[in-house]
């Protein structure tokens, strides 16, 4: 039986397969927290800079870092033994694969364009690569990887893992578990690909026992951009979150939205009635100006300088 994506991630971590490491958080030494208990029944975390840290930003099909991109493409081509079934045009394998990925992504994007920024699912692009290779006598271990669609998911996971170093804040898992014990629901509102929640899970497991994100996050209010087809900060992205909250009998006013980017997290969340917490625990991912902390349109209800401080501003359910 083919491995699930979560088991595949576990399998890779058990191999001697070097990959980029996620960054260590870089604190703001001069910023003081503003902590006040918020009358909420749910906490929702935005993605990059809040739920996880990454060396090259949000996941992309072709990362802007040319060296990292080439290394990841070369590793992926070698890992899945693709080169023999690729057209032997002049140039390096990674260069040829980059061109193919761009062409296939553009084709997928043209078929799903919306009025808001469309999110292309990377596993669909890699599945299109597999479909093309299968026409050229490509073969793989279906017992291990599964169907061509499942193989595309695992290639996308391997590629994102090879291209992007990802980490989580110290005490993140303990924080999530403590809030869950308080009876407060937790959710995710993030830009990410299918591989992202698995990579986050694998990082959290380094801090303690965890079998899946569903142990600490409510699936109904865990919204990923790859699932809804648009970026989380769009109108549709926030409508999806509000619909998830409604399904659990919750409103924006009963929810603390935790983010590190004033423009993309705090402002749109406040505009829709959420209580907000600005996390300033990493200088490399946080985006804020002194003026943002004074303007009522962008001023958060809570200012956090360490991830675990979220516990102190969330009441126990029924309190």
pLDDT of residue 110: 76
How far is it, in rounded angstroms, from Cα 5 to Cα 293? 41
pLDDT along the chain (319 residues), means of 10: 93 90 92 95 97 90 91 96 83 91 88 61 96 94 96 97 95 98 97 96 96 96 95 94 98 98 97 98 94 94 97 86
Cβ contact 268:238 at 8 Å: yes
Instruction: Work out the number of other CB atoms within 10 angstroms of the CB of residue 46.
Output: 23
Instruction: Work out the number of other CB atoms within 10 angstroms of the CB of residue 82.
Output: 19
How far is it, in rounded angstroms, from Cα 44 to Cα 297? 19
Report in angstroms the alpha-carbon separations of 11 from 8, 77, 144.
Answer: 5, 19, 11
pLDDT in tens, 189-217: 999 999 999 999 999 999 999 999 999 99
How far is it, in rounded angstroms, from Cα 301 to Cα 279? 11
Domain chopping of the chain, boundaries = 5-58+166-313, 66-163
pLDDT in tens, 148-184: 999 999 999 999 999 999 999 999 999 999 999 999 9
What global pTM score does this model have?
0.93
* Domain 5-58+166-313 -> CATH class: alpha beta
Cβ contact 244:267 at 8 Å: no
How far is it, in rounded angstroms, from Cα 230 to Cα 171? 31
Burial class (CB within 10 angstroms; exposed 0-12, middle 13-18, buried 19+) of 315: middle
**209 half-sphere exposure, CB direction, 13 A CA radius:** 0
Cα torsion angle, 134, 137, 138, 139, sign = positive
């Amino acid at each position: 039986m083919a491995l699930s994506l979560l088991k595949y991630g576990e399998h890779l971590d058990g191999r001697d397969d070097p990959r980029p490491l996620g960054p260590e958080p870089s604190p703001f030494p001069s910023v003081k927290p503003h902590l006040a208990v918020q009358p909420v029944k749910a906490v929702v975390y935005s993605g990059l800079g809040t739920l996880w840290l990454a060396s090259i930003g949000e996941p992309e099909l072709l990362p802007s870092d040319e060296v990292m991109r080439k290394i990841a493409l070369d590793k992926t081509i070698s890992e899945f033994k693709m080169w023999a079934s690729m057209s032997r045009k002049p140039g390096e394998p990674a260069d040829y694969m980059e061109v193919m990925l761009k062409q296939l992504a553009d084709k997928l994007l043209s078929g799903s364009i919306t009025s808001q920024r469309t999110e292309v699912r990377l596993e669909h692009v890699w599945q299109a690569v597999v479909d093309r290779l299968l026409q050229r006598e490509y073969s793989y271990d279906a017992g291990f990887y599964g169907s061509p669609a499942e193989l595309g998911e695992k290639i996308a996971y391997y590629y994102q893992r090879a291209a992007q170093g990802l980490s989580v804040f110290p005490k993140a898992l303990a924080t999530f578990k403590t809030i869950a014990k308080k009876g407060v629901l937790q959710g995710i509102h993030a830009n990410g690909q299918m591989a992202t929640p698995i990579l986050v899970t694998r990082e959290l497991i380094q801090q303690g026992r965890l079998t899946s994100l569903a142990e600490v996050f409510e699936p109904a209010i865990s919204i990923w951009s790859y699932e809804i087809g648009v970026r989380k900060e769009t109108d549709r992205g926030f409508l999806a979150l509000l619909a998830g909250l409604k399904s659990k009998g919750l409103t924006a006013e009963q929810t603390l939205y935790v983010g590190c980017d004033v423009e993309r997290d705090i402002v749109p969340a406040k505009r829709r009635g959420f209580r907000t917490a600005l996390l300033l625990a990493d200088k490399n991912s946080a985006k804020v100006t002194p003026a943002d902390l004074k303007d009522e349109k962008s001023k958060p209800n809570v200012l956090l300088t360490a991830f675990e401080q979220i516990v102190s501003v969330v009441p126990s359910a029924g309190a």
